[in-house]
Amino acid sequence: MSTVYIRPGSGTGTGTLADPYYWSQRTAAEDAVGAGGTVIFFPGNYGYGNGAGCPNQSNHDGITYQGMFRNGTYIYHTGHDVFKSGTTGRMNFKKVKFLVGNSTYNYRQYATNVYFDQCTIVSGSTGRPADTSGSYSAFKEITNSLIHDTSTYSGARLKAGVKIHNSTYVADLAGADLTVGTTELKNVLLYAKVANTQSSIIGSNSEKIWTYNIASMTTSTHPTEVVGDTDPLLADPSNDRFRPKPSSPLWEAGVVLA
């Protein structure tokens, strides 16, 4: 079947809307949908330990893992292998919130082709919310999403070939460093809750970037694409509500993307 449903906990289900699989059956869910299928999550918390990963196998390409409601599906991890070791096929996540443990390389491990849409990606207290340095390059595209860096480590590091569109990156602490290499940023807000002393490097294929509290900004070939550096007037950033207010200048600052 091309679509199955899954719910938190352990048990036995058949994968239908009326009788969804349990989280403990996620291998069966992936086998049932196969390449290009969709696993739809009921709202709730989905946790796993180190090395278990999501997906639970490394041999399925193009599966979409989708929450029923944005941020209603909460996938968390106490270790560092957020995605299954050896996963090389494309993975798609939609309307899912991620939180991983206090590991340096929260989102780096072993997955090479991951796409996010309408997701929230949060770091642990000493981990990076995104790390694709070295030989790893997990993120391929992030759209309509929030990357929230709550760590005391050195922020997010993204490699060439990654696209971030219509999204927000938030750093809670002054030590966060958003290094994006030649990443393509379009309609992106880089927001630091406190004055950020680290540099953010913007790639050459970028346009319509708004920054706030970023003390040191380094751009490559398109420095003029930083279109604003004043308060973007978010709803309540101190309480992690990052939606722009109706009066926010962000509403008129972007560009229509194809």
The domain locations on the chain are: 37-245
pTM value? Answer: 0.83
- pLDDT over 50 (residue 220): no
Mean pLDDT of the chain: 76
Confidence (pLDDT) at 215:
62
Cα–Cα nearest to 38, from 19, 21, 13, 18 = 21
Contacts of 21 (CB under 8 A, 6+ apart): 4, 5, 6, 7, 13, 14, 15, 28, 29, 32
Residue 7 banded pLDDT, cuts 50, 70, 90: very high
CB contact at 8 A, 90 and 115: yes
pLDDT digits (tens, 9 = 90+) for 45-56: 988 765 555 655
- pLDDT over 90 (residue 66): yes
What does R_g of the chain's alpha carbons equal in angstroms? Answer: 18
pLDDT digits (tens, 9 = 90+) for 80-112: 555 655 556 788 899 998 876 544 444 444 556
Confidence (pLDDT) at 204:
64
For residue 149, give the amino acid letter. D
pLDDT more than 70, % of the chain: 62
Number of neighbours of residue 16 by Cβ within 10 angstroms: 12
For residue 110, give the amino acid letter. Y
Number of neighbours of residue 238 by Cβ within 10 angstroms: 7
Confidence (pLDDT) at 12:
97
For residue 22, give the amino acid letter. Y
Contacts of 100 (CB under 8 A, 6+ apart): 76, 77, 78, 79, 80, 82, 106, 107, 122, 123, 124, 127
Confidence (pLDDT) at 23:
92
CB contact at 8 A, 84 and 110: yes
Confidence (pLDDT) at 153:
57
- pLDDT over 70 (residue 190): yes
Note the helical H segments in the chain.
Answer: 26-33
- pLDDT over 90 (residue 166): yes
Confidence (pLDDT) at 218:
54
Confidence (pLDDT) at 1:
59
- pLDDT over 50 (residue 151): yes
Confidence (pLDDT) at 16:
97
CB contact at 8 A, 138 and 111: yes
Residue with the larger pLDDT of the pair 44 and 75: 44
Furthest C-alpha separation in the chain: 56
